[in-house]
Amino acid sequence: MSSAPESSSSSVTDVSHAAPSDSGAEDIGDYLLSLREVAKNFGPVQAIRRVDLDVPPGQVTALIGDNGAGKSVLIKCISGIYPPSAGQIFWKGREVHSHSPREASELGIATVYQDLALCDNLDIVQNMYLGREETRIAVLDEIKMELDTKELLKDLAVSTVKSVRQLVGSLSGGQRQAIAVARAVMRDSQLVIMDEPTAALGVSQTAQVLDLVRTLAARGIAVILISHNLNDVFKVADRLAVMHLGELVSHGPISNYDTVSAVELITTGQSHRSPTSV
């Protein structure tokens, strides 16, 4: 393949005028991320099959499905942890050839996993900059890091944190989620993937995290949100993607769905109330 002139990554090729493997070729450049016929096998186990998904910028895509449906495997393919066994991944209309966590991160894909990977014994600022501390004349620029952290939390409307010098271990679940998201966003992320961010949270903390999700979208960031909670999904999502037994059985604007059709799609992979391919 020819090299990609505008990209720092040699693994990306311009295909904005090329046809992907099925119809809808003319639209692919409008999306931040598109998957075409993506599959992932583990030996004989087909974890996901023929997944076509389009993720626009500045919108929240809720990814739903029963346990074992393939949601986590799908996001791990997107975030570069698993190389797909087949299919194509497009980023801004260009095909991504070799996809690793590092390359995904360079493209602007950030994933917030359920365990959040925060250090309880460090404060918020230290967690934000873990592994990429700002140095000025070989000294950690604590003042800059602290100011930048405060500004980012303010931008993200995270208002419940008393001090950025608080230990992360002392924060509530919702606040910890907010810090993990803020850390992801700090790296110029354009797509933030969140795996069940509200699963362990109470009502008001869940509301905080959902507000944060909307704030990200308002800043033009695309969010893929895995959730089991359909109330949350219908509150916060612009688009829905439903997985069933490893296949993405339906995806499209949230207005195409209601809770009845979402439950039907999750449990049977079909619904006469909503389209099963968009």
Nearer to ligand ADP, 20 or 65 (CB): 65
**Is 69 among the residues that bind ligand ADP (CB under 6 A)?**
yes
What is the contact surface with Mg ion in residues (CB under 5 A)? 72
CB of 75 vs Mg ion, minimal distance in Å: 8
Instruction: Choose which of 45, 138, 139, 203 interacts with ligand ADP (CB under 6 A).
Output: 45
Stretch that binds ligand ADP, among 25-33, 65-73, 181-189, 261-269 (CB under 6 A): 65-73
Contact (CB, 8 A) for 33 and 55: yes
**Is 267 among the residues that bind ligand ADP (CB under 6 A)?**
no
CB of 72 vs Mg ion, minimal distance in Å: 3
Nearer to Mg ion, 36 or 76 (CB): 76
Using CB distances below 5 to 8 A depending on partner kind, what does residue 250 bind out of ligand ADP, Mg ion, none?
none
**Is 47 among the residues that bind ligand ADP (CB under 6 A)?**
yes
Interface with ligand ADP (CB under 6 A) = 42, 45, 47, 65, 67-73
